[in-house]
């Protein structure tokens, strides 16, 4: 998938495509319609348990299937989702690659053993039924964070397949992601050159807002950015980036425009509260510029190009944004896959250069 090398890829249906140097789509979602899909990838015990216990679905209420955000109307009906993604998203916008982030509810399960069984099944399903079908596809490793040892084992099991380019966790889990409990995961991530992708969503161990449970889905979805803020603060203040100096974190479907204001606040208060976290030896603003990346859908900005330009300017970095369609989530209509107002000279950086700089495994040729 190297931008310099220009790789031959096989589109669905065996069509040869060459010299594709289009965008790298850093956030697309394969849908698991039923636990039955995973049955071939489960052990006999868990396969029978699906039937005997009536475990039909691990769908999360983070993306209720009928909610408008969950799928664009023109992406709802398909007989073959791999084909739909490859034609409707990759071919459509000439993408040279896409990273699959599977949001199935593996992280919601309380039983640690069931969680690891499903995580393994999901990762094997992705490898066999997605990655094997189109050489442009890459994926994140779904990890059962319920048990850090299990999560590290799953990373070790999958990392040798170089098509896995990231480790996927949810924005809201059992506890803040900076806590040292999780550090073996970050050590594994750094060891294998895998960014940590934090995606919107919750394991529902806690209310989805810091003030308690909201009544409506719109509140749940909109408040995801609060969780991202808390995770960014946790990772910085607990010293994750001081300890793992090579680690990259990608905020997926986080929205973007909240970041400058939040960083201003965090950096301002760090100036007075620095002695509490002496390992944070430079402004959080600088740490985020070095370690944190964000996908551009949703951007959370009006269509006015001047406003968008000012927001991008506030980030004070050209390196932080990564192109994403957020397929099949309904973030935009038609072919408006780039938000209006992104400066022309930034488009290639966002679409190609920044993804390649963030995901070192994308610079390797397809296996």
Partner 1 sequence: MARHVVATTKEIPLGGRKLVEVAGRPVVVFNLDGEFFALLDRCPHKGGSLCAGTQTGLVESSGPGEYHYSRRGEIIRCPWHAWEFDIRTGKSRCDPRRMKVRTFPASVAPGAELLQAPPAATTFAVTVEGEYVLIEA
Binding site for partner 1 (CB under 8 A): 180, 238-240, 242-243, 270-275, 278-279, 281, 283
Which of residues 205 and 274 has its CB atom nearest to partner 1 in the complex? 274
CB of 275 to partner 1, least distance (A): 5
- In the three-class reduction of DSSP (H, G, I as helix; E, B as strand; rest coil), residue 172 is classed as strand
CB of 158 to partner 1, least distance (A): 27
The closest alpha carbon to 358, from 127, 26, 4, 5, belongs to 26
CB of 279 to partner 1, least distance (A): 4
Which of residues 286 and 353 has its CB atom nearest to partner 1 in the complex? 286
Which of residues 168 and 247 has its CB atom nearest to partner 1 in the complex? 247
Which of residues 25 and 238 has its CB atom nearest to partner 1 in the complex? 238
Q: Which conformational region is residue 209 in: left (phi greater than 0), alpha (psi within -120 to 50 degrees), or beta?
A: beta
CB atoms within 10 A of CB 5: 12
Which of residues 105 and 178 has its CB atom nearest to partner 1 in the complex? 178
CB of 271 to partner 1, least distance (A): 4
Residue 24 CB contacts under 8 Å (≥ 6 apart), including other chains: 1, 95, 96, 97, 98, 99, 322, 323, 351, 352, 355, 356, 359, 362
Residues 256 and 139: their CA atoms lie apart, in Å, by 22
Which of residues 53 and 274 has its CB atom nearest to partner 1 in the complex? 274
Size of the chain, expressed as the number of residues it contains: 367
Range 156-161, long-range pairs (CB < 8 A, 24+ positions): 156/188, 157/120, 157/123, 158/123, 158/127, 159/188, 159/192, 159/194, 161/127, 161/131, 161/367
Which of residues 125 and 244 has its CB atom nearest to partner 1 in the complex? 244
CB of 281 to partner 1, least distance (A): 7
DSSP letter string over 228-282? HHHHHHHHHHTTHHHH-TT--EEEES--STHHHHHHHHHHHHHHHHGGGSTT--S
CB of 262 to partner 1, least distance (A): 18
CB of 152 to partner 1, least distance (A): 19
């Amino acid at each position: 998938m190297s931008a310099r090398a220009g790789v031959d890829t096989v589109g669905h249906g065996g069509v040869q495509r060459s010299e594709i140097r289009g965008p790298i789509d850093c956030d697309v979602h394969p849908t698991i319609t039923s636990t039955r899909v995973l049955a071939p990838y489960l052990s006999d015990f868990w396969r029978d348990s699906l039937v005997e216990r009536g475990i039909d679905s691990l769908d999360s209420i983070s993306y209720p299937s009928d909610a408008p955000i969950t799928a664009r109307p023109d992406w709802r009906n398909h007989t073959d989702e791999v084909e739909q993604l490859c034609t409707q998203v990759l071919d459509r916008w000439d993408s040279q690659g896409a990273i699959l982030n599977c949001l199935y509810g593996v992280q919601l399960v309380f039983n640690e053993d069931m969680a690891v069984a499903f995580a393994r099944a999901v990762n094997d399903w992705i490898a066999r039924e997605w990655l094997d079908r189109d050489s442009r596809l890459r994926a994140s490793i779904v990890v059962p964070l319920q048990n850090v040892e299990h999560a590290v084992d799953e990373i070790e099991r999958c990392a040798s397949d170089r098509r896995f380019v990231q480790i996927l966790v949810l924005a809201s889990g059992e506890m803040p992601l900076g806590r040292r409990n999780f550090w073996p995961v970050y050590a594994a991530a750094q060891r294998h050159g895998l960014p940590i992708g934090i995606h919107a969503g919750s394991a529902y161990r806690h209310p989805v807002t810091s003030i308690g449970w909201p009544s409506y889905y719109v509140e749940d979805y909109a408040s995801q950015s609060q969780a991202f803020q808390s995770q960014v603060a946790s990772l910085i203040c607990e010293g994750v980036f001081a300890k793992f100096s090579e680690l990259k974190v990608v905020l997926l479907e986080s929205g973007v425009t909240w970041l400058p204001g939040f960083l201003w606040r965090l950096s301002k208060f760090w100036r007075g509260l620095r002695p509490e976290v002496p390992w944070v030896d430079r402004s959080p603003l600088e740490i985020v510029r070095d370690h944190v990346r964000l996908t551009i859908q949703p951007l959370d900005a009006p269509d006015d190009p001047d406003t968008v330009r000012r927001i991008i300017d506030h980030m004070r970095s050209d390196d932080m944004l990564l192109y994403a369609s957020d397929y099949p989530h309904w973030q935009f209509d038609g072919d408006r896959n780039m938000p209006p107002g992104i400066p022309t000279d930034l488009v290639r950086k966002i679409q190609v250069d920044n993804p390649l700089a963030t995901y070192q495994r994308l610079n390797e040729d397809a296996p």
